[in-house]
Structure 1
Amino acid sequence: MRRLKHQITYDAILRVVAQFPSALRDNGPILEAVQAMAAAEFEKRPREGDENDMDWGIIHGDFWSGNILLPSTPQFESSSPAQQLFIIDWEFAQYGHCAYDIGQLIGDLIERNHFRGAAASLNVLAGFVSGYGFPFTCRDGDDKDSNRLAFRVATHAGVQIIGCYIRRAPTGPLPGTPEQTEEAIKLGVDFVVKGWARDREWFKESVLAALFV
């Protein structure tokens, strides 16, 4: 499952982006560097020096909104003070970096707004990010280090969005119009490139501002 996840995410990004010159521009070297980083990470095994790194552990592996079940009764109509969520489809569960799960869900929510006009998905995104604890408090005076996980999440969200192009049958339709698809690929590349560069100021003005502001 780790091999399959790698194949449909990081291993595919440069191949996909190369089909969109307006998105590729001069970003090839950065995309290659991100691919190399991920290739090494997908070979990591437990007990290889990550025992004290809370970012690593067992992850869901396919954490998107379609694998989250919500109660049928809206919260404002319920007498219960809390609502239960059910996470399903665990066959991709694997050892990995938690940014893969968090970034996949965020990327999926952005896609729903981009391709379907589901503006409410951005409210869900903001609530999820806030509930997860972003932005983390800076403990050592280094903003970029305190946002380390946020940059990784943003990078993987970009990889998720780029993957919209191949998450379909080979002859199946695009997720949206050609123009929508190209804009999505460009947005995904921006997330990857800016996440790799740790450009906090750029993200503060983006749809991912909740991770940093």
Structure 2
Amino acid sequence: MTNYTYQAVVNLEKAEESHGTANFIIKYAPPYRANRSSIPLDCKRGFFEYSALLHVPTHFNSGTTSIPVQIPEAIHHDDQAHILIITDLGQNSRTLKQCLVEDAKSLDVQQVGKALGEWLAELHIWGRTEAAAPLRRVLSQNNDLTDGPIRYACSRLLPEDDPLWKAVRAHIDDLRDLDKKGDSNFVVHGDFITGNVMVVPKVSQNGVKTTKLAVIDWEAANCRNFTWNDIGQMCAEMYFPTFFGHAGNLGTEMVSAFLKAYISRRELSEEERRMVIIRFGVHIFVWPGVTGWGDKMSVAECQKLGKEYVARAWKYDWDWLKESIVRNLVPIL
């Protein structure tokens, strides 16, 4: 957790022509990680999140699923106090990660995966447009958290002297250096995972139950050409509940629907597909042991599988990958 986060309930009974209450989320960004004060962080991360919420379209109208995807509304940012106020998505909202772990069968995983895949592709497409230029200018200053998840993951590729891990780290460093010399005309979320997607249940006045999704935590948003990072780590997080026995095969089904939907909107080159798979493998190698997904034995098995994916993608072993969880990324050769 990088910030202190609070829910505020404002009584509107005394406000003119207003009734009831209004709920808000208040995020305080101190000059360090909230859960580890020994790790310094730039207080401007709240400003970058505020900017992203102001500029990214509230929703993209081109979705073909029954589940809309949106973002919270930015209410206020105090640059001196480092406080960000956004709309509250409701007390019944849960993260997609919670839903997959606790009650995956309650989700229409095909529709959720499809909705998120289409939405992410549209974000990446929009990020290249002139309409996104003002946001890109702001995000170009976001150096502290720009690729924090990638840097952290690479630092956990152990043992450090393993030839594969050395090659992967060097390649990702090269991509960083190359991007610094390029135009950086992109907008990516930067930390696109199931923990940063909220499932928001709604009940209409006539009793009809619906669901919408909301993408939160934009402080790592940046303008670098790391679209593969958004895709790869989300696939890994969708897959964890299947691997660790919480969701049956539903996590794998969500991955498939997510990838199909993304590629239907935005084509990926062979190299981009390869980098998505490498990012997927790195994520499932690193994060289960950090975030406590399973016991020592199951985490070790997950790490073994993650390294297998990285090794296969590194060698362009499409024959093996076309039978894998990420088969939808295999190019038609």
Q: CA deviation at 1:151?
A: 1.1
Residue identity matched to 2:273: A
Residue of structure 2 in register with 1:23 after alignment: none
Matched residues in 1 for 2:199 and 2:186: separation?
26
Q: CA deviation at 1:78?
A: 5.8
Structure 2: runs of 5+ lacking an equivalent? 1-144
Residue of structure 2 in register with 1:10 after alignment: 154
Of the structure 1 ranges 145-154 and 186-195, higher mean CA displacement relative to structure 2 is found in 145-154
Residue of structure 1 in register with 2:171 after alignment: 37
Residue of structure 2 in register with 1:151 after alignment: 274
C-alpha contact 1:134 1:150 (8 A) present in aligned 2: no
Residues 187 and 136 from structure 1, CA distance in 2 versus in 1: closer, same or farther, beyond 3 angstroms?
farther
What CA deviation, in whole Å up to 9, does each residue of 1:23-66 have, x standing for no partner? Answer: xxxxx2222111011123334555x2356xxxx72211111111
Answer yes or no: is 1:161 the counterpart of 2:284.
yes
Answer yes or no: is 1:116 the counterpart of 2:250.
no
Residues 88 and 5 from structure 1, CA distance in 2 versus in 1: closer, same or farther, beyond 3 angstroms?
same
Q: CA deviation at 1:85?
A: 2.8
Alignment of 1:60-75 (within 5 A): 60-73=189-202
What CA deviation, in whole Å up to 9, does each residue of 1:52-87 have, x standing for no partner? Answer: xxxx7221111111111233159xx9698xx64311
Residue of structure 1 in register with 2:220 after alignment: 92
Matched residues in 1 for 2:264 and 2:156: separation?
29
Matched residues in 2 for 1:136 and 1:89: separation?
24
What CA deviation, in whole Å up to 9, does each residue of 1:58-117 have, x standing for no partner? Answer: 21111111111233159xx9698xx64311001111233100010000011121211233
Matched residues in 2 for 1:151 and 1:73: separation?
38
1:204 pairs, out of 305, 322, 332, with 322
C-alpha contact 1:6 1:39 (8 A) present in aligned 2: no
TM-score, length of structure 2 as denominator length: 0.48
TM-score, length of structure 1 as denominator length: 0.73
Query: Which one has the bigger helix percentage?
Result: 1
Alignment of 1:186-197 (within 5 A): 186-197=304-315
C-alpha contact 1:155 1:192 (8 A) present in aligned 2: yes
Residues 190 and 136 from structure 1, CA distance in 2 versus in 1: closer, same or farther, beyond 3 angstroms?
farther
Residues 135 and 162 from structure 1, CA distance in 2 versus in 1: closer, same or farther, beyond 3 angstroms?
farther
2:230 pairs, out of 81, 96, 101, with 101
C-alpha contact 1:70 1:84 (8 A) present in aligned 2: yes
The percent of aligned pairs where both chains have the same amino acid is 25
SS at match of 2:310: helix
Structure 1: runs of 5+ lacking an equivalent? 19-27, 138-144, 169-173
- The number of equivalent residue pairs is 182
Q: Which of structures 1 and 2 has the larger relative contact order (alpha carbons within 8 angstroms, sep 6+)? A: 1
Matched residues in 1 for 2:265 and 2:310: separation?
19
C-alpha contact 1:2 1:42 (8 A) present in aligned 2: no
C-alpha contact 1:8 1:163 (8 A) present in aligned 2: no
